[in-house]
C-alpha cells in the first residue's frame, strides 16, 4: 500500500509547477521591456511604438495571470508610455 501524501507535500509539488510557470511569464515580460527600452534609445519611431505595445501587452498578461501586481504593472506601463511620448516629441521636433 502506498504511503499517504501530506498536504504539505502536495502543496510543494503544486508550488513548484506554479513557480516554473511564473518564471517563464516574468522572463518574457522582462525581455519585452528590455526590447522596448532599447527601441526608445534608437531612432526608429515605428519600431519603438511596436516594441512598447508588445511590452504593454506582456505586462497586462502578467497582471491578469497574477504573476505581477496590478499597481506594479500600471506604474511600469505609465513610465514606458511617458518615455514613448517624450521620444515622439523629440522625433517630431527633429523633422
Return the C-alpha cell found at 63. 497582471
Q: Per this entry, what is the length of the chain?
A: 95
Residue 66 lies in a domain: yes
Location of C-alpha cell 511620448: 85
Number of separate domains in the chain: 1
pLDDT-derived band at 1 (thresholds 50, 70, 90) equals low
Q: Structural domain of residue 52, as residue ranges?
A: 43-95
5 or 88, greater pLDDT: 88
The predicted-structure confidence for 66-86, as pLDDT tens digits, reads as follows 999 999 999 999 999 999 999
Residue 37 lies in a domain: no
Residue 94's pLDDT is 73
The predicted-structure confidence for 51-70, as pLDDT tens digits, reads as follows 999 999 999 999 999 999 99
Q: Do the Cβ atoms of 30 and 59 come closer than 8 Å?
A: no
Kindly report the pTM of this predicted structure. 0.85
Residue 61 lies in a domain: yes
Amino acid at each position: 500500500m502506498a504511503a499517504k501524501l501530506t498536504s504539505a507535500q502536495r502543496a510543494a509539488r503544486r508550488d513548484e509547477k506554479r513557480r516554473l510557470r511564473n518564471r517563464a511569464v516574468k522572463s518574457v515580460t522582462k525581455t519585452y521591456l528590455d526590447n522596448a527600452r532599447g527601441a526608445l534609445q534608437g531612432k526608429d519611431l515605428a519600431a519603438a511604438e511596436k516594441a512598447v505595445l508588445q511590452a504593454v501587452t506582456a505586462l497586462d498578461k502578467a497582471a491578469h495571470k497574477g504573476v505581477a501586481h496590478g499597481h506594479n504593472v500600471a506604474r511600469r506601463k505609465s513610465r514606458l508610455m511617458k518615455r514613448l511620448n517624450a521620444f515622439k516629441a523629440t522625433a517630431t521636433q527633429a523633422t
